[in-house]
Amino acid sequence: MELPFLIKDCTLIAIATGEEAHNLREFSDRLKTIHPGCIYYHFWGGMLRPSFDEPEYPNDFAAWAWRGLRDKRLAERLAIIDPSHYRVIEDLRQELIEVIEERLAESEWVPWARSGQRFKFIRSQIVVLDTGKRVSQPQEMAAQIAGLSSGSVFYHFIDARRRTESGRSDFAEWLQAEEAEEYSELVRQLNAIDPYFTTLSELRRELALVFQPYLVEGETS
């Protein structure tokens, strides 16, 4: 392949915004104006944190609806929102607001957070590191992928979807750039993987399985 794949690593730095919400109405109002990096962080940041506060809920908004407001119905509605289905962060913001406004319309009173459980909006800043590793062929990637760090998996498969014009992973972009028919099925399988509702370890295993046939071909050729 003409262009080598540059394997990078990353981490998300959490930045306090000073924005808080004590009840669901304030929460909805803050969502309308907060930095888009807050929405990104509260949906995806948990994947890079050491552990989830609420493993049952995949994003911070849903976890707070349950832990802070004790509103299981709202928590479940927020939990099923898949951010990977939204190319534009503003569309995801609007979906969040609509779900919350719908819940407010159903309630006879505005739900308040329990003492000490107000929602604190955090913004993220991604820091990208060059690992120095270069891959020239899918066979080499198949050999490398199982050993990628969680940060590398996040950067190349999740964060890439907001960076690339096509909204695809860096792996798919790299393979597609060759316009080689032999990699079309590999690209299709990569595009079919949903990175949400999983962990980075599970995502790495799924990627390794997709690339595995190319490793076998490389060993026997």
Report yes or no on 2 lying in a domain: no
The residue whose two tokens read 């808080």 is 20
How far apart, in Å, do the first and last CA atoms of the chain sit? 17
Domain of 154 in residue numbering reads as 133-220
Report yes or no on 4 lying in a domain: no
Per-residue confidence (pLDDT) for residue 220, from 0 to 100: 40
| Domain shared by 148 and 85, yes or no | no
Instruction: Report the distance separating Cα 60 and Cα 75, nearest Å.
Output: 10
| Domain shared by 111 and 35, yes or no | yes
| Domain shared by 117 and 153, yes or no | no
Q: For the chain, how many structural domains are there in total?
A: 2
pLDDT in tens, 110-129: 999 988 999 999 999 999 99
CA angle 115/118/122 to nearest 5° reads 150
Tokens of 153: 């998996």
Report yes or no on 3 lying in a domain: no
pLDDT in tens, 128-169: 999 999 999 999 999 999 999 999 999 999 999 999 988 999
| Domain shared by 103 and 174, yes or no | no
pLDDT above 90 covers a percentage of the chain that reads 82
| Domain shared by 92 and 186, yes or no | no
| Domain shared by 167 and 115, yes or no | no
Picking from 189, 161, 194, the residue whose alpha carbon sits closest to that of residue 175 is: 189
- Averaged pLDDT of the chain: 92
| Domain shared by 76 and 150, yes or no | no
| Domain shared by 22 and 112, yes or no | yes
| Domain shared by 149 and 188, yes or no | yes
Residue 49's SS3 state is coil
| Domain shared by 119 and 23, yes or no | yes
Residue 187: what residue type? V
Answer whether residue 53 shows pLDDT above 60: no
Q: Lowest-pLDDT range, 62-66, 68-72, 138-142, 213-217? A: 213-217
| Domain shared by 18 and 119, yes or no | yes
Tokens of 120: 């604190």
Contacts 24+ apart (CB under 8 A), 73-76: 73/103, 74/24, 74/99, 74/100, 74/103, 74/111
Report yes or no on 112 lying in a domain: yes
| Domain shared by 171 and 83, yes or no | no
Write down which residue in 99, 123, 147 finishes a domain. Answer: 123
Write down which residue in 103, 123, 143 finishes a domain. Answer: 123
Report yes or no on 26 lying in a domain: yes
Write down which residue in 98, 123, 148 finishes a domain. Answer: 123
Report yes or no on 200 lying in a domain: yes
